[in-house]
Amino acid sequence: MSTDLQLFYNDLRAAVEAGVHMEIGDKTLPDSALTTKSLDRLEQRVASGESVPARYQAAMETWEKTGSMIPVLEGLSTRAKAWKKVGRLFRNSMIYVLLIAIVAIAAMAHYLWNILPEIEAIRHDLTTLARPHEPIGTSRAALWAKLALGFFVLLFLGLLVAMRRGGIAKAGLWAGGRSFMRCQTLATASRTMQLLITNGVESENAALLSGTLAGLDREGQGELLHAIKGLSPEEVRSPALADYLLMIADHQFVTTRTWGPGVLIVVVGGAFAFLFAILAYGPIAALLHDLSNVTRL
């Protein structure tokens, strides 16, 4: 067994012992959650050349490429857990958006089949009265209304599909959940590294918090450096740092929960209302124009 792979096992075992819940998605094991026993079985499989779950194999490959536990924890544990939390947060918002879509579809259908024909009939009579010898063209309002109705229906179906395929969490990331997920990852990594230091298992990237920068993107590096700004080396190694990072994550989550769903509802609901107003305005404005022409006769 290579030294790098042994460091990977040590770090992963430390994370399990620290209480980090990791899912490997292996149905052949008694529990898909990674435990010390299942980790022993996986180590034996690797040693004997047997196949391992794809998620676990991806974690080993990620470790070999980056040497950091940050992306490993994201792939096996923290990211999935935070992903579900963000998804639950925005589920109610998506339900509200679906209700807005249903109301918009009903309103557009009523407008298309009840109101618009009456407007067109009135315009036809007014045009005949004002210019009896001119041909009456076909209005495009009905065509645009049908296209809008089709768009609303497709968008409604798209939202339903998004709810079944993780689209809620993706919308949550767009609305501010990404910082929360990254802080959760940093906090978990900090706890894992502190346990490694306590147990005397000090790999280069696990013992020092600065070593985790290798597994973060530029935005994540900035957040980490901002979190530890002004801290002494002893404070960086302290277990309290994980609590501090978790506090930052909770703050990010509260912020996201406060304004994120509202932004989602306002943007999507506002788009529905704006499009409906534009489509309804055209025929009504044309009707008023025809009325003004008749009154001048």
pLDDT digits (tens, 9 = 90+) for 188-225: 666 655 655 555 544 443 434 444 444 455 555 555 55
156 and 214 together in one domain: yes
Give residue 208's domain range. Answer: 69-297
As given in the structure block, the two tokens for residue 146 are: 């049908």
166 and 47 together in one domain: no
Residues 178, 266 contacting (CB under 8 angstroms): no
162 and 257 together in one domain: yes
Residues 60, 51 contacting (CB under 8 angstroms): no
129 and 222 together in one domain: yes
Domain count along the chain: 2
9 and 107 together in one domain: no
As given in the structure block, the two tokens for residue 93 are: 């918002």
104 and 54 together in one domain: no
125 and 61 together in one domain: no
95 and 210 together in one domain: yes
Q: Considering only residues 195 and 250, tell me which one the structure prediction assigns the higher pLDDT.
A: 250
pLDDT recorded at residue 7 = 76
203 and 225 together in one domain: yes
Helix, strand, coil tally for the chain in percent (to 5): 80, 0, 20
pTM of the model: 0.51
Position 3, amino acid: T
Mean pLDDT confidence for 60-78? 71
Position 257, amino acid: R
CA distances from 27 to 20, 31, 53, 75, 280 (A): 20, 7, 9, 18, 55
DSSP reduced 3-state for 33: strand
126 and 9 together in one domain: no
Residue 126 has pLDDT above 50, yes or no: yes
CA distances from 267 to 131, 260, 270 (A): 44, 11, 5
Residue 23 forms beta bridges with which residues?
Answer: 33
Phi, psi at 23, each rounded to 5° = -110, 130
The whole-angstrom separation of Cα 262 and Cα 37 is 45
Q: Which residue matches tokens 């012992």?
A: 17
- Final residue belonging to a domain, choices 45, 68, 91: 68
The whole-angstrom separation of Cα 183 and Cα 197 is 21
Using one digit for the tens of pLDDT, what is the confidence trace for 131-163?
655 554 446 666 777 787 788 788 778 777 776
Angle, CA of 46, 8 and 229, to the nearest 5°: 160
